[in-house]
Amino acid sequence: MRPNPYEAVPAVITDTIDETPLIRTLRLKPDRPLPFRTGQFIELSLPGVGEAPFTPSSSHFITDIMDVTIMKAGFVTEHIHRAKPGDRVGLRGPFGSSYPLEEFEGRDLLLLGGGCGLAPLRSLFLTLLDEIGKYKSVTFYAGAKTPQDCPFKDAFAEWHKHPQVKLVRAVDAVPPGETWEEEVCLVTGLLKKLDVDPRETPAVVCGPPVMMKFGTRDLLRLGFREDRIYLSMEKKMYCGFGQCRHCMMGEYYVCKDGPVFTYARIKDEEGIWD
Ligand SMILES: Cc1cc2nc3c(=O)[nH]c(=O)nc-3n(C[C@H](O)[C@H](O)[C@H](O)COP(=O)(O)OP(=O)(O)OC[C@H]3O[C@@H](n4cnc5c(N)ncnc54)[C@H](O)[C@@H]3O)c2cc1C
């Protein structure tokens, strides 16, 4: 029987991790396992407050625990940030399309992300790591505004150790009083150093619209194929399964047809970077 898309699975918050002043990861234990494919999203509800869509940030091979990494953006996310271990939330889903892992097998891969766009990329990255033998290499370029805005600090230190992984972080600026020993540039500036064959490499891009726009432009200039650039689109979304029409992008619903699209598929739709 197909799961009822309106029905929320209750989950308990087992831990919270403050990643940055604005980003917090909730570790959730659903009352029953909630399988998803990396790149898909869930609707997380807080009783008496409301519901919002988020992409799990944990590996899709783990179904009894789910991490969700949330940036404070407004009413619902402010309340979610106040939640404590032991509090209960609801999870609906999973919804939408996922990253096509089969198409990544045997290849070099590029992950390019910034800010809270690093949440879905963390899920993809951890999922790839769980079966790293299937892939040639993973280059992960991660950006943030300043050092204190970098999420997953401890995890990044750990991920560096993997021989097939090339992880580079960049911040836009280092304010007085903060220290930083990695790159200082826009995350897209890291593409200059890329040493993979662009025609053969899938690139997964996730971040603020302006970063996605210029990141895609730079990838195309480098020779990446339109049908191998994967974008995780975020549009204002409510129902999560193609009924309310809030997330329409041209002929597509982001909730049903996305959130993962190739650039080739949506490049002619209006307002894709809005
Ligand atoms: C597929 C998908 C995956 C997402 N994954 C993540 C994630 O992993 N981590 C994360 O921090 N955020 C994620 N978001 C964005 C998150 O859903 C919004 O930040 C959240 O809904 C804001 O709700 P609010 O009430 O706190 O803010 P509001 O005050 O309602 O709005 C603040 C900002 O959030 C945007 N927003 C509001 N409601 C929605 C909505 N229903 N859908 C999308 N954007 C909305 C608004 O355009 C505005 O820019 C995702 C959005 C989508 C569509």
Q: Is the pLDDT of residue 1 over 60?
A: no
Buried b (16+ CB within 10 A) or exposed e, 119-158: bbbbbbbbbbbeeeeebebbbbbbbbeebbbbbbeebbee
pLDDT at 206: 95
Q: Mean pLDDT throughout 170-182? A: 94
CB-neighbour burial class of residue 205 (10 A; exposed 0-12, middle 13-18, buried 19+): buried
The mean-pLDDT minimum among 71-75, 146-150, 161-165 falls in 161-165
DSSP 195-251: -S-GGG--EEEESSHHHHHHHHHHHHHHT--GGGEEEE-----SSSSSSS-TTEETT
Q: Is the CB of 264 under 6 A from ligand 1?
A: no
* Correct CATH for 101-232 of 3.30.470.20, 1.10.132.20, 3.40.50.11810, 3.40.50.80: 3.40.50.80
In the beta sheet, which residues pair with residue 261? 231
**Ligand 1 atom nearest to CA at 119:** 8
* Domain boundaries for CATH 2.40.30.10 within the chain: 9-95
The pair of three-digit structure tokens given for residue 67, joined into one six-digit string: 């991490």
Ligand 1 pocket residue status of 187, Cβ below 6 Å: no
Q: How confident is the model at residue 59 (pLDDT cuts 50, 70, 90)?
A: very high
Nearest CA to ligand 1 atom 31: 74
Q: Residue 146 has what pLDDT?
A: 96
178 in Cβ contact with 148 (< 8 Å): yes
Question: Which of 1.10.760.10, 3.40.50.720, 2.30.33.40, 2.40.30.10 is the CATH number of 9-95?
Answer: 2.40.30.10
Q: How large is the average pLDDT for residues 260-273?
A: 91
pTM (two decimals): 0.93
Pairing mode, if any, of strands 41-46 and 50-54? antiparallel
- For residue 56, give the ligand 1 atom closest to its CA: 8
Whether 2 shows a pLDDT value over 70: the answer reads no
pLDDT tens profile 107-122: 999 999 998 899 999 9
Cα separation, 157 vs 213, in Å, equals 29
